[in-house]
Structure 1
Amino acid sequence: MASEPQGGLTEYIQHHLNHMTVNFSTDHGTFWNLRVDSLAVSFVLGAAFCLWFWLFARKATSGVPSKGQALVELAIEFVDTQVKDTFHGDRRTVTPLALSIFMWVFFMNAMDLLPVDLAGWLVHTFAGAETAHHTYFRMVPTADINTTIGLSLAVILIVIGHGIKAKGGFGYGKEMLTAPFHAESMPAKIILLIPNLLLNVVETLSKPVSLAMRLFGNMYGGELVFMLIAGLMVSWIGFVPGVVFNTAWAIFHILIIALQAFIFMMLTIVYIATAREHH
């Protein structure tokens, strides 16, 4: 489904790395760049996940489940087992959060399996070739650093909320100043306030950075390989070898898609469990 690259492979890849954006500007320049493709695809996939699970939960029966219900139950049991093994508190809010993160990230990652030129082909079919050449639309939200940072920041805010809920505002603040280094005498405690605070701030800030960069790096790299194969398919290696290479990479990439969603979910659970522990 790849279209003939105009200007060579480099221009082909650069074209596909552009986002569909809406710029909000003032007389002093652009102050906000809205990536419509990442937002739109993320919203649609999140809504699809919620609708899918809601429909099967609404029609759930206690007898022999349908294939769709069995798949939903399998996903819920899988996530709940992971939460139970990692988090030893009340799971009533943690399991739904973990399930939402796993399924949403999995859906967004899975967009990498769609043909690279699908969006361009649709625009070409319904709007014409010239419009398609100037249309940018990236299908993988998690290959956008803004999406992964947004997800990671939301997770860390939830983690901090769990810590405050478990220890209270005073207890959470006290732990930020008195752990990991402890002292018996008051002068030593005062001296250790700044090192403790710095270490805890760095640890807190490193969590969203680690979450965001790990997911973004893996999905961006995978998307780039698909673009490279698609560009080579029409410019050098031919259709049949291109399909073979694309299929081989897609089969391998399925593992990365599921693994990255699982890692993001598990780290979220671990961070929540750690935040609720008393030191």
Structure 2
Amino acid sequence: MAKSPTEYIVHHLTPLHVGEGFWTLHLDTLFFSAVLGLAFVLTFKFAAERATAGVPGPIQNFAEMLVEFVDSQVKDTFHGHNPVIAPLALTIFCWVFLMNAMDLLPVDLLPTVAALEGIPYLRVVPSTDLNATFAMSITVFFLIIFYSFKVKGPWEYLKDILLHPFGVWFIPFNLLLRLVEELAKPVSLALRLFGNMYAGELIFILIALMPWYLQPLLSFPWAVFHILIITLQAFIFMVLTIVYLSMAHASH
């Protein structure tokens, strides 16, 4: 049965889910996130196992290019010493980019295939799900707290929270400012990625609602422009993570 434009948009933006309330699970987000994460791991594992000192293959070239790119960002931004930061930054950049890149698939392709298998809803872009972006940003937030506590120690970390920026006489005000500052980090990370990708997906859906002869004229230029957006969003998420972790390693 043909859907109205509103029903079409709502259908494409509704996740495949189970459960109710807080315990709702978005199965499509979990599935595509896991598959794309596994694709990243296997690709780099394949490149590492077949790495050669001679003439490198295309996969090794690609992997080395990404590693060098991320490593240069870490060296320029992170001013401490932590062997976890570079692998973490590489994982974030590649994983977020792959999730964003699912937006370049035709909007009806995978949902139609899923419908043939009896699956009523399917959202294929994990980064258009606020749950996914907040899960990543909250993980980064926990790492910030962990390394702040580990590097500075309990007493120095407590002083950093209570005594900056205005000294001992303004502890309540210092604490309030610190809470706002810390909470803004995961919120800004999550909402920036979600907002840009959700808007991009919505534009693709609106283009799909237009007459067939207009769709190629609009979808191709938007897809080309969108490649810049998905790359930029992955880069921003990675760089902000490095910056926040560098701040966690810094001492006054």
Cα offset for 1:91? Answer: 4.5
State how far apart, in whole Å, the 1-side matches of 2:144 and 2:53 are: 35
1:18 aligns with one of 8, 14, 17: 14
Cα offset for 1:20? Answer: 0.1
1:98 aligns with one of 79, 89, 95: 89
1:262 aligns with one of 232, 235, 249: 235
2:56 counterpart residue number? 65
State how far apart, in whole Å, the 1-side matches of 2:147 and 2:136 are: 17
- What are the Cα deviations for residues 120-179 of structure 1, in whole angstroms up to 9, with x where unaligned? 32134x44xxx46xx110000000111011100000111111211210122111210011
Asked if 1:83 corresponds to 2:74, the answer is: yes
Asked if 1:210 corresponds to 2:191, the answer is: no
State how far apart, in whole Å, the 1-side matches of 2:4 and 2:35 are: 33
CA contact (8 A) 1:83 1:91 kept: no
1:251 counterpart residue number? 224
TM-score by length of 1: 0.87
Cα offset for 1:241? Answer: 2.0
SS state of the match for residue 23, structure 2? strand
The residue type paired with residue 173 of structure 1 is L
1:137 counterpart residue number? 122
Cα offset for 1:64? Answer: 1.5
Asked if 1:156 corresponds to 2:147, the answer is: no
Instruction: Give me the identity figure in percent.
Output: 51
CA contact (8 A) 2:133 2:193 kept: yes
SS state of the match for residue 19, structure 2? strand
Mean Cα deviation higher: 35-44 or 173-182: 173-182
- What are the Cα deviations for residues 239-262 of structure 1, in whole angstroms up to 9, with x where unaligned? 232122111110000000000000
State how far apart, in whole Å, the 1-side matches of 2:242 and 2:192 are: 16
State how far apart, in whole Å, the 2-side matches of 1:90 and 1:104 are: 24
State how far apart, in whole Å, the 2-side matches of 1:123 and 1:101 are: 28
Cα offset for 1:113? Answer: 0.4
2:35 counterpart residue number? 44
SS state of the match for residue 216, structure 1? helix
State how far apart, in whole Å, the 2-side matches of 1:8 and 1:221 are: 20
The residue type paired with residue 80 of structure 1 is D
Question: Alignment length, in residue pairs?
Answer: 252
The residue type paired with residue 155 of structure 1 is V
The residue type paired with residue 196 of structure 1 is N
The residue type paired with residue 123 of structure 2 is R
2:208 counterpart residue number? 230
Gaps of 5+ in 1: 25-29, 183-188
SS state of the match for residue 240, structure 1? coil
The residue type paired with residue 85 of structure 2 is V
Cα offset for 1:269? Answer: 0.5
State how far apart, in whole Å, the 2-side matches of 1:89 and 1:274 are: 9
State how far apart, in whole Å, the 1-side matches of 2:114 and 2:176 are: 51
Larger radius of gyration: 1
CA contact (8 A) 2:133 2:194 kept: yes
SS state of the match for residue 138, structure 1? coil
Cα offset for 1:119? Answer: 2.0
SS state of the match for residue 51, structure 2? coil
- What are the Cα deviations for residues 36-58 of structure 1, in whole angstroms up to 9, with x where unaligned? 01111001111110111011111
TM-score by length of 2: 0.96
State how far apart, in whole Å, the 1-side matches of 2:213 and 2:154 are: 62
Gaps of 5+ in 2: none
CA contact (8 A) 1:19 1:37 kept: yes
CA contact (8 A) 1:79 1:99 kept: yes
CA contact (8 A) 1:19 1:138 kept: yes
CA separation of 1:210 and 1:31: change in aligned 2, threshold 3 A:
closer
Asked if 1:53 corresponds to 2:26, the answer is: no
